[in-house]
Amino acid sequence: MIPLHLENGKLKQPARELESVGEYDVLVCGGGMAGFGAAVAAARKGCRTLLVERESMLGGLATAGLVNIPLDTCCGIGKEMLGNLDAVDGHWHRNSDPEKHKLILDRMLRASGADLLLVSHVVDAVLSGDEVRGVVVESKSGRQAILARRIVDATGDADIAHFAGAECFSGRLEDGKHQACSLEFRLGGVDWPKYLDSDLKRDDPSWIQLIQKAVGGGDLPYMIENHLNWVTHLPGRPQRCGMDELSFCISHSRNCDPLSARDLTRMYLEGREQADVFSKFIRKFIPGFDRSYLIDTGSLLGVRESRRIVGEYVLKTLDFSRANTFDDVIATTNHHYDLHNPDGPGNIKWAKELIDGKVCYVSSNGAKGSWEPPCGYENMTDGWGRTGKDRVFPNTPSDIPYRTLVPVKTENLLAAGRCLSSEFMAQAASRLVLTCLNMGQAAGTAMALSLRQNVVPRNIDVKELQRALIADGCDLGQNRRNVI
């Protein structure tokens, strides 16, 4: 109970004592793929571990968000996870069943020995000097404190780092704008073979021309998106019999603030309206979908980028286009520039960079996307500013160094997942489902190592961390070069 005491439009809250509901070796905040990887890794290393998640399930966007496309480097805990999904017919060609995925994550976490607290929001950090020593959570049990020797921030929004006063980036450097957000949806009753055999699939597979024509003719109310981003199957469900179930990524909200509850509300409402619009449009105009129906929308909005920590190293945009390697690599990614346009419809596969005093529109792999750079696709450069036949696009995975997980000042804290220390476009190249899981496994392993070595996480022996990750099946590029 809080007595009503308003002063200058603000309610004064009296001081109160908080119950401490436990003390752990490692506390992981956020139960998406990064947090899952961190908690399993730390628990398997013998740490008393607690994972706190605000939703009612693990997996984040891979489950609650219907992003059933676990892409990127498959190794370590991620490889084990996909194997477990295979065993229950929940994985096919890097498409997953979100419902089966929830159960697999539950089982793997429980088997690791980690503790779990769901439907609990972290609302503050507990500090002793510059050391994070715990968090405050709000739940049906009230407001409580949880203490820990080490904490992994896998919230996606760098919430723990923010609450602890750590320096953070947010949005695009020049204007603070964020990547577009998406609410995914699923359709059932699809005749998939009919679609595959259609002229549309052959001639306009991303629906670019179809959408342009539909907007111009009034069959779509506005340009929600100028192309189909991706469509996936629900494995283990009926297929090729007129009853296929598919997940769609095509809806987008822009000019968004994913750190505002008001704007998140706006995007959830907008996303459901867009799913209704697209489901009707698809039923009418897409071959094989004439008997399709809307199954559901994601219960979790697809936020691609918000806050990012300022770490001991800031991952650079040009690190990807130059295939830069790092002595402290803890994960790799096969992804590339993949920015969901903050300003308007389209997917951006290039970055505006100043190279040797010249403005260049840089591609990391030559992909075009659906938003053309001012110079035209033909004049996009490589990471050194070269054009035409002189361009060289790297074909090796990119490194993610340990220092991108380590905040510059705050101790006992590591970040993992899409809130890693990175430039705006570099983050857009390092945020896929398995990338986040692999960073999480590295963070959890690093926390266990720091406790064993009795040093703060920034001072661990990184070579020992790399040896441990490789022993646990992680891909640090060791088959392509000498890592340790």
pLDDT tier for residue 13 given thresholds of 50, 70 and 90: confident
pLDDT tier for residue 7 given thresholds of 50, 70 and 90: confident
Helices 462-471 & 433-453 angle (0-180, nearest 10): 120
CATH number of 20-172+399-471: 3.50.50.60
pLDDT tier for residue 3 given thresholds of 50, 70 and 90: confident
pLDDT at 61 exceeding the cut of 90: yes
pLDDT at 5 exceeding the cut of 90: no
CB-count burial class (<10 Å; 0-12, 13-18, 19+) for 109: buried
Average pLDDT, the chain: 96
The pLDDT of residue 407 is 98
If you average pLDDT over residues 153-164, what whole number do you get?
Answer: 98
What are the tokens at 466?
């790399």
The pLDDT of residue 15 is 87
pLDDT at 88 exceeding the cut of 90: yes
pLDDT tier for residue 473 given thresholds of 50, 70 and 90: very high
The pLDDT of residue 64 is 98
pLDDT at 470 exceeding the cut of 90: yes
What are the tokens at 390?
């002189």
The pLDDT of residue 4 is 87
pLDDT at 472 exceeding the cut of 90: yes
Percent of the chain with pLDDT over 70: 100
What are the tokens at 86?
């295979």
If you average pLDDT over residues 13-39, what whole number do you get?
Answer: 95
Whether the full predicted model's pTM is greater than 0.95, yes or no, is yes
**Are 49 and 72 contacting, i.e. CB atoms less than 8 angstroms apart?**
no
pLDDT at 16 exceeding the cut of 90: no
The pLDDT of residue 43 is 98
CA atoms within 13 A on the CB side of 279: 22
Distance CA(484)–CA(271), nearest Å, equals 46
Per-domain residue ranges of the chain: 20-172+399-471, 185-297
pLDDT tier for residue 97 given thresholds of 50, 70 and 90: very high
Q: Model confidence over 168-202: pLDDT tens digits?
A: 999 999 999 999 999 999 999 999 999 999 999 99
Of 116, 150, 112, which Cα lies nearest the Cα of 31?
A: 116
Q: Model confidence over 214-227: pLDDT tens digits?
A: 999 999 999 999 99
Q: Model confidence over 373-404: pLDDT tens digits?
A: 999 999 999 999 999 999 999 888 999 999 99
Percent of the chain with pLDDT over 90: 95
**Are 393 and 366 contacting, i.e. CB atoms less than 8 angstroms apart?**
yes
Q: Model confidence over 236-252: pLDDT tens digits?
A: 998 888 999 999 999 99
